[in-house]
Amino acid sequence: MADQPLQPVSAAQKFLSTRFSLRGLLETGGGALCLGTVAGFLGPLAWWLDLAAHFRLQYLAGLLLLAVLFAVFRRSRMAAVFLAFALVNLALIVPLFLPGPNAHPAGATPTLRALLANVNTRRGDPTKVLDLIRREKPDFILLEEVGLKWQKSLAPLRDQYPYGEWEPRDDNFGIALLSRRPFLRSGTVMIGGEVPSVYAQFDFDGQPFTIVGTHPLPPAGAAYSWYRNDQLARLPEFLRRIRGPVLLLGDLNTTPWSYTFQNLLKESGLKDSAQGRGPLLTWPAFAHGLGIPIDHALHSSDIVITGRRMGDDIASDHFPVILDFAVTASP
């Protein structure tokens, strides 16, 4: 029997084949976003599950887009599933935009400014850091990932910021706290035993006020995640020993949706300065608005946040954070 000639594939068949393969790809991608949404709640079970908690904004954007696409192509069941999971993420994000304690009450000191900058030990540009500081004129500066070369490069700051607590290291965990105002006391402490944190106490109208800077290890594997979690779990005990208003600054290597971050807020009693303003997507800087918020400013209830924003690019993998705040007077 003679072979039948192959029938040519019509343009319509090609389109349908492409359409169905694209739909399958979109369904697979949407399924991955749904799994990530659920995995983010399971962080206490495994370090790698906790990583899923950091991408709530990305899950929301991706799932909303897929819900719209499937609705347009009349796949209502899939559209409804993706919309439902998008709303789960939205419910976790919206509280950061709800009004917080933003008022500037009577009895507060004039507004002060703090600058938090993870400068990147090897890649950052000291000239850009110096330019940023001169433009923003902060009262307090917390620098992270500073080594001995950074300490030398930033020597021009000594006239404007004569008070400093330096702990330079070349392993990405050097840290420094600089101030225009004199210290009542300052020091370097090991909270959790792996990397240094710094603190300084100041006098404001006869009452103490303290800034603490910290930078836990990143969750790059089970061991590093354990050390990060241990440091964040021990921080509240250290903070509770401090009298008066407290401001905690640092690249905490976690986001507001991680169980470690929520536990830090609960146990320390501190408030997130993002409340009422939304998260700042500070890392990685090259993501241009698609990053995650891991650089934080937490504060006691007797500190009022009057402004919070990202600073200009300093050639680091992090954007700096600029915080304006006031210290309320004690009764």
- pLDDT tens string 285-331: 998 778 999 999 999 999 999 999 999 999 999 999 999 999 986 55
Distance, CA of 77 to CA of 7 (rounded, Å) = 36
Q: What is the pLDDT of residue 74?
A: 87
Residue 30's pLDDT is what? 95
Q: Which residues pair with 305 in a beta bridge?
A: 325
Please, is 185 exposed, middle or buried when counting C-beta atoms within 10 Å of its C-beta (0-12, 13-18, 19+)?
exposed
Percentage of residues in the chain with pLDDT exceeding 70?
A: 90
For residue 194, CA distances in Å to 220, 224, 227, 238, 283 come to 15, 10, 7, 15, 23
Residue 106, C-beta contacts closer than 8 angstroms, at least 6 positions apart: none
pLDDT at residue 330, rounded to an integer: 58
User: Of all residues in the chain, what percent carry a pLDDT higher than 90?
Assistant: 79
Where does the pLDDT of residue 102 fall: very low under 50, low under 70, confident under 90, or very high at 90 and above? very low
Computed over its alpha carbons, how large is the radius of gyration of the chain?
24
pTM of the model as a whole: 0.89
Q: Which tokens go with 214? A: 């910290």
Of residues 75 and 100, the one with the higher pLDDT is 75
- Arithmetic mean of pLDDT, 213-217: 97
pLDDT tens-digit map of 125-158: 999 999 999 999 999 999 999 999 999 999 999 9
Per the CB < 8 A criterion, the answer to whether 199 and 189 are in contact is: yes
Residue 123 banded pLDDT, cuts 50, 70, 90: confident
Length of the chain, please?
Answer: 331
Question: How far apart are alpha carbons 182 and 200 in whole angstroms?
Answer: 9
Instruction: Please provide the average confidence, as pLDDT, over all residues in the chain.
Output: 91
Q: What is the pLDDT of residue 7?
A: 55
Tell me what pLDDT residue 161 has: 97
* % helix, strand, coil for the chain, step of 5: 40, 25, 35
Confidence at residue 73, expressed as pLDDT on a 0 to 100 scale: 87
d(CA 32, CA 27): 9
Q: Above 90 in pLDDT, residue 212? A: yes
SS3 at position 5: coil
Residue 21 pLDDT > 90: no
Contact 214, 250 (CB under 8 A): yes
